Chains A and B, each alone.
Chain A
């Protein structure tokens, strides 16, 4: 079975600061990786995904993630955050026909 580790569960930063959220998974084969976001009071939404090809994946709202196979990592980044990026972020990896999620990162952006 795979597992997903997310670090720094609570992140507080100011607007315009850069954000990087770490995600590590444990699996040596072909992986499909995802970041989902949950804004306050809203449902989980797909932010970006990696299936194959270019390891640098661009998602919505200026987010990107880099798949580094040698490090079993899929870190999420945004160069300049906005107050509206306040949300919980979940990394997920495909296990057969379902997704396994990490515990999430609660990100608070201070105006």
Chain B
């Protein structure tokens, strides 16, 4: 499968625990995005990387959230001291950097990691 892969697909945790999600983008894509989606809402931007550099973070990304992309390939999103309000689907997407005709700005999404905080 050459698409965007996310693990785990489902995570149930107790409030206060830490969780980590992993995203493996399409191999030739140098941009990687994290979004969050709750019921009845569209995806909300959290952060994005170009190669290993984290170029933008949303105000939604509180201090308890941290994302890394150490070698410019896979990425992890960690949530510390989870709260019930963190329950959501966490989506990863990737794209290529380039001109629009090359397909830049077209995000390919993974299936998501669903977090339930009890």
Contact = CB atoms under 8 A, between A and B. Distances in A.
Contacts of B109: 36, 43-45
A48 to B, nearest CB: 11
Interface residues of B, number: 24
Interface string A58-90: 000000000000000000000000000000001
Given A43-B111, A98-B33, A98-B56, A103 B40 contact: yes
Contacts, number: 56
B42 A32 contact: no
B55 A97 contact: yes
A97 B110 contact: no
A9 B112 CA distance: 22
Given A43-B109, A98-B48, 13 more contacts: A4-B42, A32-B100, A32-B105, A34-B106, A36-B109, A43-B112, A44-B109, A46-B108, A94-B105, A97-B50, A98-B56, A99-B105, A104-B42
Q: Sorted from nearest, which 8 A-B pairs have the closest CB atoms?
A: A101-B42, A44-B109, A43-B111, A51-B100, A101-B43, A103-B42, A43-B109, A104-B42
